[in-house]
Amino acid sequence: MKKYVIYIVILIAGFFLGWLFFGNSSNNEMEHNHSEMASENQMWTCSMHPQIMQPEAGKCPICGMDLIPAEAGADGLSPNEFKLTKNAMALANVQTSIVGNGSIESNSIKLSGKISENEDANVVQASYFSGRIERLNISSVGEEVRQGQLLATIYSPELFSAQQELITAFSLKESQPTLYNAVRNKLKLWKISDHQINQIEASGKVIQNFPIYATVSGTVSEKLAEQGDYVKQGQALLKITNLNTVWALFDVYENQIELFKKGQEITVTTYAYPNKKFKKKVDFIDPMMNPKTRTVDLRVVLNNRNGEFKTGMFVEGMIENTSSDSEQKLSIPSSSVLWTGERSVVYLKTNPNEPVFEMREVVLGKQVGEQYEVIDGIKDGDEIVTNGTFTVDASAQLRGKKSMMNRDDGKTMTEHEGHTMTEKVDFNSKVEKLFQPVIDAYINLKDALIQSDVLLTSSKSKAFKKALEEIPVSQREQTYNYWSILHKTSKEINENVSLEHQRKQFQMISDKLIEMVRNFDEVNFKLFVQFCPMADDNNGAFWISKEEQVLNPYFGDAMLKCGSVKQVIQ
């Protein structure tokens, strides 16, 4: 028995020593092999262009940034969730905020407008008798005139005869006072002053070229006659404007009218004096809508005794929304919303401690300033992406998750299925045909921005605006307010000489036009929806091109080929 016990003890000791010397090395070998496999499978990507996937570290072929390790997996996440690295979050400047109940009334609304002359202070200087202008003392528009200043001299045959009658009647004043008074009153009807009449009587001489004096002080805003012209009684000679007060006229679009009322406080700023703010009240809201632009004028009267405001000057107005709706509603920044036709989506951060995101469809109400009212889709306390939304969406697309460009099942739309990615808006075929020249003008505008040419961009923006205006009013109503937004934005491109501002407005035009074209049943040519994740301060921006090759209108030569094709429409 002792012999068997010794054998058993030796056997157990052997197993123990074998495990001690060889088991740990086996585990180490397994871990080493696993590490080698993981290293072999490691892919590298660009934080700004997540579509780039390479097996080795290096530089991004688009922007030249260092590649970073791509995530190997997303264990524990739901099918539509995905996770970003903290490095990618920082580089793309992805920011989030908590959605909370807040009154939509606290948001400011920005309006664009121009300085115009105060029409209530306009005076037309007319000739009160017929004759020939012998001398016109006003040489150009913009001259300042004072009340009583000599403006012109006129030779008038009928006035010449009337003066002779006055001289004769004056000599018969004592014997025929009625005749004398009748002749004198006749001259007064021609706005000849008592002083001038007395001068004629005292001198006994006829004034051959009769003087015309300014009845008011102001600035000549329009010349309506020239020296040597023959004018009729009552014909206008000059238009004189008193610029001590001016009007600031702001465009209010159809869907904003209910937000404004007379007497609201408004803060006016100008590009000329960016550090000055002028607080005034809304003086008048035009009851008549402009049928071409679908806007009404909102008017503010500004004091201009110091001559700070010039007619034609661009101004901005910030006005607090004073809606009578006292109901507390959720509101979110416009930067957090992505549009896919009639649908609106945001990205929800589903894990408060980790950068895990999921797309969420929302129903929006009206826009007030830079905020949208939320009717359904998210709730108080949700955390959503408010900056870098396009970058997050691009990451979702590349991972095959539910996104703006992917269907609910995670599959990307093909170029033949692309029109089904949004809820269908049924534009009639006539509208689609009328919008083809608008698309052509848009492409020309895009090409001007690629060249980074401010003046050419302004010119092409005029052509784009003109193409919109050639669409009949009856057909504009079929475009669900797309037309008015496109028209207003193209106008703002043309009116600004900053390339950065022009590109920002172009982004708004692109977003709206893409929404429209995706719902067209037919287009004349194949269109490529392209996307640059670095545009708009790394929020990303889309545009339309007729060529598959990417030429970036948001950066031009600085980063000409940054971007990729996201959808083909044909």
Where do the structural domains in the chain lie, given as residue ranges? 2-69, 82-107+326-412, 108-118+243-320, 120-241, 420-569
Domain range 82-107+326-412, CATH class = mainly beta
Topology annotation, domain 120-241: OB fold (Dihydrolipoamide Acetyltransferase, E2P) (2.40.50)
Task: Calculate mean pLDDT across residues 27-41.
Answer: 51
pLDDT-wise least confident of 22-36, 149-163, 258-272, 353-367: 22-36
Largest CA distance in the chain: 175
The larger pLDDT score, comparing residue 438 to residue 190, is at: 438
Domain 108-118+243-320, CATH: 2.40.30.170
Three-class SS state of 364: strand
Residue 416: count other Cβ atoms within 10 Å of its Cβ.
9
Q: What percent of the chain has pLDDT over 70?
A: 79
pLDDT tens-digit series, residues 265-303: 999 999 888 888 899 999 999 999 888 888 899 999 999
pLDDT tens-digit series, residues 46-72: 766 665 667 788 887 766 678 877 655
Distance in angstroms (rounded) separating the CA atoms of residues 355 and 416: 34
* 148 pLDDT above the threshold of 80: yes
Confidence of residue 37 (pLDDT cuts 50, 70, 90): very low
Question: What would the two tokens of residue 249 be?
Answer: 């006229």
Distance in angstroms (rounded) separating the CA atoms of residues 553 and 528: 14
Predicted pLDDT at 375: 84
Task: Calculate mean pLDDT across residues 222-235.
Answer: 88
Could you say which DSSP state residue 44 is in?
E
Could you say which DSSP state residue 478 is in?
G
* pTM above threshold 0.75: no
Distance in angstroms (rounded) separating the CA atoms of residues 43 and 51: 12
Question: What would the two tokens of residue 447 be?
Answer: 């090409």
What residues contact 419, with CB distance under 8 A and at least 6 apart?
Answer: 518, 519, 520, 521, 569
Confidence of residue 434 (pLDDT cuts 50, 70, 90): confident
Confidence of residue 568 (pLDDT cuts 50, 70, 90): confident
Which range has the top average pLDDT, 17-26, 190-199, 438-447, 480-489? 438-447
Counting Cβ atoms within 10 Å, is residue 215 exposed (0-12), middle (13-18) or buried (19+)?
Answer: middle
Distance in angstroms (rounded) separating the CA atoms of residues 371 and 331: 6
Residue-by-residue DSSP string for 74-94: -TT--TT-EE--HHHHHHTT-
Predicted pLDDT at 2: 61
Confidence of residue 404 (pLDDT cuts 50, 70, 90): confident
Predicted pLDDT at 160: 87
